[in-house]
A = this chain, B = another copy of it.
Amino acid sequence: MTHPQLPHDPDKFHEECGLFGVFNHPDAAELTALGLHALQHRGQEATGMVTHNGTDFHAHRAIGLVGDTLNQPPVIAQLKGTMAIGHNRYATTGDSSLRNVQPIYADFDFGGFALAHNGNLTNALAVRTALTKSGALFHTSSDTESIIQLMARAQGSADQRLAAALRQLEGAYSLVCLSATQLFAVRDPYGVRPLVLGELHGAPIVASETCALDIIGATFVRDVAPGELLVIDATGIHSSRPFDAAPSKFCIFEYVYFARPDSTLEGHPVYAVRKAIGRELAREAPVEADVVCPIPDSGVPAALGFAAASGLPFELGIIRNHYVGRTFIEPTDQIRHLGVKLKHNANSGIIKGKRVVLVDDSIVRGTTSRKIVDMVRGAGAASVHMRISSPPTTHSCYYGIDTPEQSQLLAHTHNLQQMSDFIGVDSLAFVSLDGLYRALGQVQRDNAAPQYCDACFSGDYAIALTDKAIASEPASRLKVFSSHAGR
């Protein structure tokens, strides 16, 4: 099975970043490119790497996929050294965003320091405003720069400064950082975003998901713990807990959709969780039908679970066109009405005359679901039933996931029947919140203290949303910024 976010689907939530780091391996840059490649589903818009070779830092940042940009021989060749960190980013397109591509690099008194961030800081704007008033110059519009600016005003060693900076910040963050002698890995106290520790022939590796360990043949050691700071240097791996304790709030949507199915996060294999959700869904919302078809590719494991639990046959009733590239232009309006099927095609031999269950992972705006249902009906389905392997997404995420404004969320503005009507199905069902927790081995959701962050389904935001209250001032008056690097 494969991951579906390429090309960018406006009807999905999007993970914002993937992280990778390696310490003390002769092929540090190449391993990092491979790791970022395995994490490409966590950010397809831009990618960057910083290495250190004992004397100097070397960096490359690019708009584009890892395989098109970082993982090119001349680029790898200049990324010298045995230590490296890298970052994939989902970001707004365009040349101007290049200055926001991570890792961020800065020169401090103690030397150079590079930092890559997965997550989102919820008081970064407040911090930025205060720092600017006291003479700090920000050079990006990214929340991540606040970490660096706070470090510049802190004292002590790199890890002391990093911890001091993070203690002033709120939000979700997994970070990998690099100094001239140390690799750092840290997760926020709630552990919202994943980060794992691995090992390759003695070289420590950190990565957002285990699939990035698999691609290079590294061994999984353990998850970095919520609130843990790892400092990796020539003397070993040093763990500390520089933050106040907090309840674990791992993002439950990582299991539903973001993570790769072959990753294992916090002890749960993602593929198995998704199949289990499908089975829960079959039990909670059974339907008399002839065939179960996944919306490719993300719906496949849940559809297999649904088929197994319901006894209905599993078939590929929708074929995805995998050559859709990032730059594929949408058809013009005048021919769009022809019913152009750019991304999916109905496999009519499977669908014609059948009662079809479609299984998808989530509904965001509902527009894609509507098109697919229309296509399946056009291919002759007798009836169409949609089953969704997550609860209705009624709230936006502020912890590192790109989500539409709440007003754009179909489940915020429509009840179940209205949603069913909007996408045009004969029946529609979502797995329940409890069903989702059951698929993760819980008896049910602990509504007083939920075991995961499920704010997008429940509205229970565990971490303060300080910046949300601030009038959203534009960070910069520089609207267009382009550059031309010459021939």
Contact = CB atoms under 8 A, between A and B. Distances in A.
Interface of A: 1-3, 6, 26-27, 30-31, 34, 37-38, 40-41, 44, 55-69, 71-73, 75-76, 78-80, 95, 98, 101, 105-109, 111-112, 132-133, 135-139, 148-149, 152-153, 180, 200-201, 211, 214-217, 260-262, 264, 269, 271-272, 296-297, 300-301, 304, 308, 313-316, 319-325, 327-329, 331-332, 334-335, 338-342, 345-350, 475-487
A215 B342 contact: yes
Chain copies in the assembled complex = 4
Contacts of A347: 1, 261-262, 269, 271
A301 B152 CA distance: 55
Given A67-B327, A269-B347, A304-B314, 9 more contacts: A59-B480, A61-B483, A63-B485, A71-B329, A80-B480, A98-B483, A215-B340, A262-B348, A483-B485
Nearest to A482: B60
A346 B180 contact: no
Nearest to A105: B478
B478 A350 contact: no
B59 A107 contact: no
10 tightest Cβ-Cβ pairs between the two chains A and B? A63-B486, A62-B484, A67-B328, A56-B479, A135-B153, A217-B339, A67-B325, A269-B349, A40-B323, A112-B477
A436 to B, nearest CB: 19
Contacts of A3: 322-323
Contact of A481 (B59, B272, B324, B484): B59
Given A271-B316, A316-B301, A328-B67, A56 B478 contact: yes
A136 B112 contact: no
Contact of A2 (B37, B66, B313, B321): B321
A294 to B, nearest CB: 10
6 contacts: A27-B334, A57-B479, A61-B484, A64-B484, A65-B323, A264-B349
Of A73, A79, A327, A334, which is in contact with the most chain B CB atoms at under 10 Å from its CB?
Answer: A327
